[in-house]
């Protein structure tokens, strides 16, 4: 039998027989690893250990010590939920039940469930876990699978869509329960240490609001009760940090149904923060040699057809008819930037050409998926597009990565990096895609950055490097991207004159530092719990006169601190109430002035950590604020020595 080679995480090749599975490869590495294998990651996709390998596959072996093990365990917990549900409600029809970053969900129908029903299902789940049922994979031929789901149109839909070309289908059995599933799963239900059903919501089949409405039950699972308790505590903390709650309390933004769904309105406090973010990004762009451009909110759809967006994004676009011509609100900024580049003649000496724009874009997300600032119809991307020679790709991407990591460092966010490869819906030849993916992989390998593979998650026009944020609670959010694009320059026939005096096609790089302002703002609200760094805070200093007699002195101080966002609390409250209100509003600094301070022309300073200093000179405080702002320090630190 012939052999194939698979690539291990350290870059070495492992030779195995053609048709070998993940488990076979693990045993080839060593009998101990083979015995401990739970699943595998093949080309970035988590798969069952019995999955056959192909020549050149990237392979990671998953054991109970791997990061991916929790995903496998949660997938099995979803099956335990489905089994428990059907024991208590035999009429329930199952659809899909995947794992998620926080746990799992299962979409079901033909059963009425309320939040109070979850406790009984959870108790049944614990019984199934205690019974330690073996979880076994079995192969079923297509006709038998169709018969099993004769009265379940959702499972039949899966059989006729994702599994359309498979003569044999994998099912997983545990006790009396079986479910159509590709896996992977743990060996037995007893490996699930702790479960909790969280909440119920509505969901559309296939995520399409034209389809049936299903009941979605969310849950989570861990290896131990202590891990579950830690998660539930963090979940309560996350509720307190919810950007929708804080956005209302701190007057940052609102989404009003009378103006339309997914269309955020930024109040003055929120706009001040957005302006600071924009100024910071602008300076980074200018320092990196980018030129500002601006494009309109809509174009003729001829442009979107030329770029490929119409073909791939038309269902998500807002289209309108103007004088019998079709226009579309822009879902992306890149075609406009490509058009600007095309309006001039370029020499190889002119490249790279770098454009940036805070461009408003519009995408018609399904209404059921809209949520605060995390999913909206209208959002702004801090977009950048570079037109480079092929020999400039690596240097330019390295500079972009440095800038993105600078942003992460400024805000105290941890980064996770992944290479996203060709999706099913894409434009361009196999050769172009292979070249682009190879170059991005080489940049990441040479940089020494740890990265994962997101198979099929690239943009339709090219692969990308995805950066994710990890916030103060350890949650992961999608962030900026770097995308390598050989296709759009070809579609727009972009050229520059090379050293040989011939026309050559530039490579287009798409990049953002934040991703979108909306999502980044959401992350910052929750990451900082509304306690923004001094440089970012919408109100930086609040002056608290002890009595109305000091209002004149307070106004003088406001003028002397005029480089900053300073307000005066002039309501006839007690000093204690004024302090509590400033604390609630998360103002970084309070300046307290009474008769003694006015007479000495000094101030008392208090910060939101309740540290205080008296007899402070105004000049000393002002100089510190300038340095704290300029250095973009993460915490107010004028009173750091007072701790």
Q: Is 510 annotated as ligand-binding?
A: yes
Which is nearest to 589 in space by CA: 552, 615, 627, 622? 622
3-state SS of 582-622 is HHHCCCCEEEEECHHHHHHCEEEEEECCCCEEEEEEHHHHH
Which is nearest to 539 in space by CA: 571, 506, 583, 496? 583
Q: Measured at the alpha carbon of residue 98, what is the angle toward residues 232 and 376, in degrees to the nearest 5?
A: 75
For residues 490-519, one letter each, b for 16 or more C-beta atoms within 10 angstroms of the residue's C-beta and e for the rest, the string is bbbebbbeeeeeeebbbbbbbbbbbbbbbb
Q: Is 504 annotated as ligand-binding?
A: no
Angle between helices 517-527 and 225-241 (to 10 degrees): 110
Alpha carbon distance 140, 146 (integer Å)? 10
CA atoms within 13 A on the CB side of 76: 32
Residue 273 token pair? 């923060």
Provide the edge-to-edge strand list for the sheet that holds 612-617: 566-568, 541-545, 589-593, 602-607, 612-617
| Parallel, antiparallel or unpaired: strands 507-516 and 476-485 | antiparallel
Q: Is 181 annotated as ligand-binding?
A: no
Q: 93 — phi, psi (to 5°)?
A: -105, 135
Alpha carbon distance 586, 564 (integer Å)? 16
Q: 571 — phi, psi (to 5°)?
A: -75, 150
Q: Residues forming the annotated binding site?
A: 334, 385, 510
Q: Residues forming the annotated binding site for Zn(2+)?
A: 334, 385, 510
């Amino acid at each position: 039998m012939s052999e194939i080679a698979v690539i291990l995480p350290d870059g070495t090749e492992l030779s195995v027989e053609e048709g070998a599975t993940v488990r076979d490869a693990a045993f080839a590495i060593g009998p101990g690893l083979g015995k401990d294998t739970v699943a595998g990651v093949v080309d970035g996709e988590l798969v069952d250990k019995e999955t056959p390998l192909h020549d050149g596959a990237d392979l990671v072996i998953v054991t109970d010590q791997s990061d991916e093990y929790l995903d496998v365990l949660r997938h099995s917990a979803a099956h335990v939920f489905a089994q428990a549900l059907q024991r208590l409600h035999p009429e329930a029809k199952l659809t899909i039940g995947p794992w998620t970053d926080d746990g799992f969900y299962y979409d079901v129908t033909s059963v009425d469930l309320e939040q109070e029903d979850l406790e009984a299902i959870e108790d049944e789940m614990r019984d199934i876990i205690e019974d330690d049922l073996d979880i076994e994979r079995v192969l079923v031929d297509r006709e038998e699978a169709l018969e099993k789901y004769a009265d379940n149109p959702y499972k039949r839909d899966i059989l006729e869509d994702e599994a359309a070309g498979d003569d044999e289908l994998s099912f997983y059995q545990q006790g009396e329960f079986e479910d159509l599933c590709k896996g992977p799963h743990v060996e037995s239900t007893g490996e699930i240490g702790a479960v909790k059903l969280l909440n119920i919501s509505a969901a559309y089949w296939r995520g399409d609001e034209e389809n049936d409405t299903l009941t979605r039950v969310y849950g989570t699972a861990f290896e131990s009760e202590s891990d579950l308790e830690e998660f539930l505590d963090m979940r309560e903390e996350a509720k307190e940090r919810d950007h929708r709650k804080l956005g209302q309390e701190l007057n940052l933004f609102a989404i009003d149904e009378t103006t339309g769904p997914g269309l955020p309105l930024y109040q003055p406090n929120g706009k001040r923060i957005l302006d600071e973010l924009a100024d910071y990004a602008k300076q980074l762009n200018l320092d990196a040699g980018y030129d500002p451009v601006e494009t309109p909110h809509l174009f003729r759809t001829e442009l979107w057809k030329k770029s490929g967006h119409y073909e791939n994004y038309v269902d998500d676009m807002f289209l309108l008819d103007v004088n019998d011509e079709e226009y579309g609100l822009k879902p992306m900024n890149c075609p406009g930037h490509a058009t600007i580049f095309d309006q001039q003649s370029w020499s190889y000496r002119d490249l790279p050409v770098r454009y940036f724009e805070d461009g408003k874009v519009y995408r018609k997300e399904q209404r059921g998926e809209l949520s605060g600032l995390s999913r909206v119809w209208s959002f702004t991307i801090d977009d950048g597009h570079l037109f480079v020679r092929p020999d400039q790709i690596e240097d330019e991407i390295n500079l972009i990565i440095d800038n993105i990591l600078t942003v992460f460092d400024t805000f105290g966010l941890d980064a996770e990096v992944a290479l996203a490869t060709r999706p099913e819906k894409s434009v361009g030849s196999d050769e172009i895609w292979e070249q682009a993916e190879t170059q991005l992989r080489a940049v990441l390998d040479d940089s020494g950055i740890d990265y994962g593979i997101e198979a099929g998650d690239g943009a339709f026009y090219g692969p990308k490097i995805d950066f994710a944020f990890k916030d103060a609670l350890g949650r992961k959010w999608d962030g900026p991207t770097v995308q390598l694009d050989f296709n759009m320059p070809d579609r727009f026939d972009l050229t520059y004159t090379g050293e040989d005096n011939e026309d050559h096609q530039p490579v287009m790089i798409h990049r953002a530092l934040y991703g979108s302002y909306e999502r980044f703002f959401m992350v910052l609200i929750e990451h900082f719990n509304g306690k923004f760094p001094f440089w970012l805070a919408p109100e930086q200093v609040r002056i608290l006169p002890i009595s109305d007699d000091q209002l004149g002195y307070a106004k003088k101080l406001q003028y002397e601190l005029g480089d900053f966002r300073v307000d005066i609390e002039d309501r006839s409250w007690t000093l204690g109430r004024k302090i509590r209100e400033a604390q609630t509003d998360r103002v970084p600094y309070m300046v307290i002035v009474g008769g003694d301070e006015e007479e000495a022309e000094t101030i008392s300073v208090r910060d939101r950590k309740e540290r205080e200093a008296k007899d402070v000179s105004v000049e000393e405080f002002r100089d510190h604020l300038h340095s704290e702002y300029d250095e973009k320090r993460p915490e107010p630190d004028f009173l750091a020595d007072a701790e």
